[in-house]
Amino acid sequence: MSETYNLTDAAIKIIQDRRSIRDYTDEPVAEGDLDLILEAARQAPSGENAQPWRFIVVRDGATRNQLGAIAGGGSGRRFTAEYVTKKMQERFTTLDDEEKKKAIFEKLTSGKVSTFLAKAPVNIVVCGKKEVWDLPYDTSAAIENMLLMVTAIGLGACWVIAPCIDIRDEERLKALFDVPEGFKVISIIAIGHPTRPHKPRPRMERHELVFDEKWGAPYYEEGS
């Protein structure tokens, strides 16, 4: 066990350093690095050890372009729905600069925020066996393992669900990757070398998240 405890600092650092990275250099991802990332996925826990995941490694430029286009379409439709239902406006109530807000809304509803998949040197298409009850949890565990390994080896990745939400896009993905009946496309993981360091996105405070014995009783003091 002593070896395990010696790794604590490394483990928390990797977890805290992970970011969603959406811009990559042209440098390819080394095969050895991909092996580590895929091994991390393979070792994830799954309900009843069902291991319902399958992974398609996509490096071909033309296929990546198609993936980017499908993601852009799905993302544009999702954000347009958020705009029409006013969910998007609620997210940005604290932003007073109307011009800036308009530009953000335009960028989001255009779908351009998700076309970066085409630029990632590698996309891992995560598929899953539909009949497995715990499928979303199982695949999420495998994906998080991959994201942490990506961070550990100095690469950057983003978990992307945009092209998998709309059933029409999912059908397009299934056709693009020959995914058989009985399996669905769960998410895409875009991976590459980050172009720059990224700031962490904000997180809720510990006292807002963790309760002591019963819901609502603070486990952590505010500001601790």
Ligand X SMILES: Cc1cc2nc3c(=O)[nH]c(=O)nc-3n(C[C@H](O)[C@H](O)[C@H](O)COP(=O)(O)O)c2cc1C
| Least distance between ligand X and beta carbon 208 (Å) | 16
19 vs 129, which CB is nearer to ligand X? Answer: 19
46 vs 139, which CB is nearer to ligand X? Answer: 139
Name the nearest CA neighbour of 154 among 26, 37, 5: 37
Helix/strand/coil for 128: strand
20 vs 89, which CB is nearer to ligand X? Answer: 20
| Least distance between ligand X and beta carbon 201 (Å) | 4
* Residues making contact with ligand X (CB under 6 A): 19-20, 22, 114, 158-162, 201
144 vs 153, which CB is nearer to ligand X? Answer: 144
Helix/strand/coil for 188: strand
| Least distance between ligand X and beta carbon 137 (Å) | 12
Strands annotated E in 72-165: 122-129, 156-160
Q: Residue 172: what residue type?
A: R
Tell me the β-bridge partners of 122: 191
31 vs 90, which CB is nearer to ligand X? Answer: 90
| Least distance between ligand X and beta carbon 22 (Å) | 6
Q: Which strand (E) or helix (H) includes residue 187?
A: strand 183-192
| Least distance between ligand X and beta carbon 180 (Å) | 24
Q: How far apart are CA 165 and CA 117, in angstroms?
A: 16
> Across the beta sheet with 156-160, what order do the strands follow?
53-58, 122-129, 183-192, 156-160
| Least distance between ligand X and beta carbon 56 (Å) | 17
162 and 114 in contact (C-beta within 8 Å)? yes
Q: How far apart are CA 27 and CA 94, in angstroms?
A: 38
165 vs 216, which CB is nearer to ligand X? Answer: 165
Q: How far apart are CA 123 and CA 55, in angstroms?
A: 10
